Structure 1
Amino acid sequence: MREDPSPWVARFAPLLPAGGRVLDLACGSGRHTRFLLHKGHAVLAVDRNVSRLEDLAGQDRLEILQCDLESGTLPAFLRQTFDGVVVTNYLHRPLLPALLDTVGPGGLLIYETFAAGNARFGRPSNPDFLLKPGELLTWLNDRLRVLAYEDLEVSHPKPAAVQRICARRL
């Protein structure tokens, strides 16, 4: 059984340029890759382990890339631009500046991950993997126009402290 897309991603995906090319970074099981493909987007799905995407191999408008995002070398795909970038439940701060640069003109960034305070709900609890208060806003530093931002606790799909943002490059 496949997971549903994050409600945050589902809420803002209609704002992605129609038929645009979207990067699903640290795509995991591919729940957002599947969702975006279904919505008519071309998708570059990237993860260290792509075995959970095997059923999608050969699908039109999909490129699957196995890549260790934390190897210390900037992956070549982060020198490209995309109409949309989707990241959920993943944080590796050294990639953040390059990730912003991948959002092309008119493109959208949809980002959602764990925040400070999540330790009381379980994993992740390491501060290296938790956003500090307001960190996503600070990270954008006026480079993209913020359409929506939240820093809150959620109960679904499990209790967690999260930050999430949707922003557009003008």
Structure 2
Amino acid sequence: MHDVIADASPWVRRFAPIIPKGGIVLDLACGAGRHSVLLASQGHAVLAVDRDISALGLLENASIQAQELDLEGSTWPMLGKQFSGIVVTNYLYRPFLDELPKMLCEDGVLIYETFADGNAQFGKPSNPDFLLKPGELLALAGRSGLKVIAYEDIYLDQPKPAMVQRICAVKGHLKGCIPLQFGG
């Protein structure tokens, strides 16, 4: 289990502690569940959602509920659900992107990290449909009324060379949280 947590994104590890306790955290497009395990280890109940959850069968954690859903169908399967936190990494499907902030409870935290424009020079994903445009996550936060805690649109060389955009944003004021500087 420790290896899975160590494999979690440093961005998610950095901001997961500010997700309010007591609610459910959504790990959207969860893959093998590395962030689900991290969040559960911090005392959160986690809903781990993906189109294929077979990799989650090995987790066996009572705090993690896995749900197999088509996240790219004609209707958004998460409509009307509320979460204290939403974590998304290495996934982008624009038709439902604006639904994420609506799904946050007051003081809920959105932690989002995925590939950005310019990543094609390093390999996949290279399709612009799966690459964030410059400032796209900032624009999402702005039109949704989220307070940005931290944001980066950068080149990373680890775990492999990539262009990445990431944000941590809050719906409301997140009591007791001191906002960080951009890139900070």
Bigger shift: residues 43-52 or 77-86: 77-86
User: Alpha carbon RMSD of aligned pairs, Å?
Assistant: 1.3
Hey, what does 1:158 align to over in structure 2? Answer: 160
Could you tell me which of 166, 169, 176 is aligned with 1:167?
169
Structure 2: state its 5+ residue gaps. Answer: 173-184
Could you tell me which of 25, 29, 32 is aligned with 1:29?
32
Deviations along 1:71-113, whole A, 9 cap, x unmatched? 11110x3311100000000000011111111111011000000
Hey, what does 1:82 align to over in structure 2? Answer: 83
Structure 1: state its 5+ residue gaps. Answer: none
1:105-124 correspondence to structure 2 within 5 Å = 105-124=106-125
SS of match in other structure, 1:120: helix
Hey, what does 1:20 align to over in structure 2? Answer: 23
Hey, what does 2:140 align to over in structure 1? Answer: 139
- Work out the percentage of aligned pairs sharing the same amino acid: 57
User: For 2:63 and 2:16, how far apart are their aligned partners in 1?
Assistant: 17
SS of match in other structure, 1:141: helix
C-alpha displacement of 1:19: 4.2
Q: 8 Å contact 2:30–2:49 — kept in the other structure? A: yes
1:2-81 correspondence to structure 2 within 5 Å = 2=4, 4-57=7-60, 59-75=61-77, 77-81=78-82
Hey, what does 1:128 align to over in structure 2? Answer: 129
| TM-score, reference length from structure 2 | 0.87
User: For 2:167 and 2:134, how far apart are their aligned partners in 1?
Assistant: 13
C-alpha displacement of 1:50: 0.3
How many residues were matched structurally?
Answer: 168
Q: 8 Å contact 1:78–1:99 — kept in the other structure? A: no
Runs of at least 4 residues of structure 1 off by over 4 A? none
Q: 8 Å contact 2:27–2:46 — kept in the other structure? A: yes
User: For 1:88 and 1:42, how far apart are their aligned partners in 2?
Assistant: 18
| TM-score, reference length from structure 1 | 0.94
Q: 8 Å contact 2:44–2:63 — kept in the other structure? A: yes
Aligned residue identity for 1:10: R
